[in-house]
């Protein structure tokens, strides 16, 4: 270790002593307990099953602890019906089904049906739409699948813990129109995640504190459909349709299929107006995308999360043999979805309306910012004098950390020390000055509301936020004043640092609803608000 680096570490220790020794900055200690990591007596998890629900059907779903194998290690996780991820629920658009949910955990939970415009009392938000489901108890959910698209289900209690440990699953609502999608050789579901493992156990979770609340919990192990070594075999010449969901606590991903063209078909709630080819696409936590890929040559192709800091392989696709039907001509033709074009066309009269509400996204760090600034200054001096970064000791990250998206945990020490006592993430109504749950917008069914989401780059710690509105759907009209030329219905939108994003919210579903950041640790650190629809 060279002298300057040694001085940096010594200085860092001094900063920590000063910071936590200062009574003004100190956090009241808690006699913390941690959730169990034992796998003793647990059944091994099973892979997802595909379940086709019909009109009026009752399906039983439970949450339980399971023993899941990651990289040869047996770790304690959770699963719906003992599966990791949970069952893939398929249903026809417009049908109603019932989910009888039973809680077999040792803590209370609920199920949130993310993105589905269902009745308010079945939205799964404790204290707002229902009481928590206690251990051993059951709750019957009624779900009206009115919109085609890709959805998912997960808890809305201690998401940072329960969702991270595997409580998530996909819902595919098939459109009623037979020509809604292009012909393909196969369909596949890719549920993308990451997880933090220390030794042979999942990294610990505090029962009383929401830890890693600054940036959210990153994991170094990548998971696709619950596997760290996902492999898919397809035939040469196959066109595949992939329903892709990001269920990570905080990690935003940039996904590609080696060097293959990706045909963007849809997002959260149905299809884009126009299909388009891309090389890769960014998917934030809670977002979903539907894409098609043509595998025209034999070989091994990688599903890659390739961000500016790291290249992470999410899985492999092995292409060999011959396919039975050739859909390459359809794949190479970019189409227009007239069903979506007609639907969205009904809202064009609102595109240029004034902004109704501006919500600023920011944070209050309760003194932690002083420590962050000191550490930044110290690292800057060392890095500039040595002419390189700090390698494994790089607490503050490099230039990419200052850009619009925090792709990796480049502030590991600060993030590890942060919790819901040391900072508060904030959604602030600019006009009234009200914050988080003190905001309570009130709208009527039939209203069309334009909301501007502004991610304050001058906040104490700016970072991206995926914002989710419950129970409604919206269009992302523009970002930083640039109008979108290809629209799709959404329920979650990524707002990068410094960006101003305008969404057009269709108010269609009565009840008390939540809007929040879908970084799990930010949600659990108060970054949420309410709106009422009469």
* Whole-angstrom distance, CA of residue 409 vs CA of residue 522: 15
Report field, pTM of the whole predicted structure over 0.85:
yes
pLDDT of residue 4: 41
Low-confidence ranges of the chain (pLDDT < 70): 1-31, 367-402
What is the token pair recorded at 98? 């019932």
> Is there a domain that residue 220 lies in?
yes
pLDDT of residue 392: 32
> Is there a domain that residue 402 lies in?
yes
> Is there a domain that residue 87 lies in?
yes
On average, the pLDDT of the chain sits at: 90
376 shares its domain with 464: no
194 shares its domain with 102: no
269 shares its domain with 297: yes
Q: How many helices (H) and strands (E) does the chain have?
A: 7, 34
User: Which residues lie below 8 Å from residue 123, measured CB to CB, with a gap of 6+?
Assistant: 112, 113, 129, 130, 470, 471, 511, 513, 514
> Is there a domain that residue 198 lies in?
yes
pLDDT of residue 524: 94
The helix or strand, by DSSP H or E, that contains position 478, with its residue range, turns out to be: strand 473-479
Query: How confident is the model over 367-404, as pLDDT tens digits?
Result: 665 555 555 554 444 344 444 333 332 323 334 334 79
> Is there a domain that residue 166 lies in?
yes
Q: How many domains does the chain have?
A: 4
360 shares its domain with 371: no
83 shares its domain with 222: no
97 shares its domain with 136: yes
Domain that holds residue 169: 50-174
Nearest to 426 by CA among 354, 523, 302, 303: 523
> Is there a domain that residue 383 lies in?
yes
475 shares its domain with 352: yes
pLDDT of residue 376: 53
397 shares its domain with 442: no
pLDDT of residue 403: 73
CATH for 294: 2.60.40.420
488 shares its domain with 354: yes
> Is there a domain that residue 181 lies in?
no
* Whole-angstrom distance, CA of residue 521 vs CA of residue 401: 19
118 shares its domain with 257: no
* Whole-angstrom distance, CA of residue 302 vs CA of residue 319: 11
DSSP one-letter string for 185-214:
SEEEEEEEEEE-EETTEEPP-BSS--BSTT
168 shares its domain with 57: yes
> Is there a domain that residue 448 lies in?
yes
324 shares its domain with 193: yes
């Amino acid at each position: 270790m060279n002298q300057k680096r040694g001085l940096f570490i010594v200085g860092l220790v001094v900063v920590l002593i000063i910071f936590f020794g200062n009574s003004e900055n100190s956090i009241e200690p808690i006699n913390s307990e941690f959730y169990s990591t034992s796998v003793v007596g647990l059944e091994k998890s099973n892979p997802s099953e595909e379940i086709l629900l019909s009109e009026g059907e009752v399906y039983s779903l439970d949450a339980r602890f399971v023993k899941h194998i990651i990289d040869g290690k047996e770790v304690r996780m959770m699963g719906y019906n003992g599966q990791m991820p949970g069952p893939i629920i398929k249903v026809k658009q417009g049908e109603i089904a019932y989910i009888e949910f039973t809680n077999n955990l040792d803590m209370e939970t609920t199920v949130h049906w993310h993105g589905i415009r269902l009745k308010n009392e079945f939205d799964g938000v404790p204290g707002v739409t229902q009481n928590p489901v206690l251990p051993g108890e059951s709750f019957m959910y009624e779900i009206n699948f009115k919109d085609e698209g890709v959805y998912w289900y997960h808890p809305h209690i201690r998401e940072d813990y329960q969702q991270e440990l595997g409580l998530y699953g996909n819902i595919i609502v098939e459109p009623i129109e037979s020509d809604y999608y292009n012909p393909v050789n196969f369909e596949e579901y890719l549920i993308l995640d990451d997880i933090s493992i220390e030794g042979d156990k999942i990294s610990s979770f505090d029962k009383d504190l929401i830890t890693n609340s600054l940036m959210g919990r990153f994991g170094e192990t990548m998971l696709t459909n619950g596997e760290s070594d996902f492999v898919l075999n397809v035939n040469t010449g196959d066109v595949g349709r992939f329903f892709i969901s990001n269920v990570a606590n905080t990690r935003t991903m940039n996904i590609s299929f080696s060097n293959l063209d990706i045909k963007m078909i849809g997002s959260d709630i149905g299809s884009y107006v126009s299909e388009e080819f891309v090389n890769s696409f960014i998917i934030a936590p809670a977002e979903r995308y539907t894409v098609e890929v043509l595998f025209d040559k034999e070989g091994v192709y990688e599903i890659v999360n390739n961000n500016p800091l790291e290249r992470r392989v999410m899985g492999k696709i092995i292409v060999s043999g011959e396919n039975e039907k050739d859909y390459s001509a359809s794949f190479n033709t970019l189409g227009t979805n007239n069903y979506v074009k007609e639907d969205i066309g009904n809202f064009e009269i609102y595109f240029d309306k004034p902004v109704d509400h501006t919500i600023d996204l920011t944070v209050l760090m309760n003194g932690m910012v002083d420590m962050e600034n000191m550490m930044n200054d110290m690292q800057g001096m060392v890095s500039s004098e040595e002419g390189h970064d700090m390698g494994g000791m790089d607490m503050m990250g490099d230039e990419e950390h200052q850009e619009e998206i925090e792709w990796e945990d480049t502030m590991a020490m600060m993030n590890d020390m942060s919790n819901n006592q040391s900072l508060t993430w904030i959604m602030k109504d600019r006009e009234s000055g009200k914050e988080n749950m003190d905001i309570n917008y009130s709208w009527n069914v039939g209203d069309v509301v334009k909301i501007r989401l502004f991610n304050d780059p001058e906040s104490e710690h700016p970072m991206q936020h995926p914002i989710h509105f419950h129970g409604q759907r919206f269009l992302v009209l523009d970002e930083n004043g640039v109008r979108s030329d290809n629209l799709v219905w959404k329920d979650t939108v990524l707002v990068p640092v410094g960006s101003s994003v305008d969404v057009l919210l269709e108010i269609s579903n009565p009840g008390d609803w939540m809007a929040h950041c879908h970084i799990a640790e930010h949600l659990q650190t108060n970054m949420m608000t309410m709106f009422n629809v009469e």
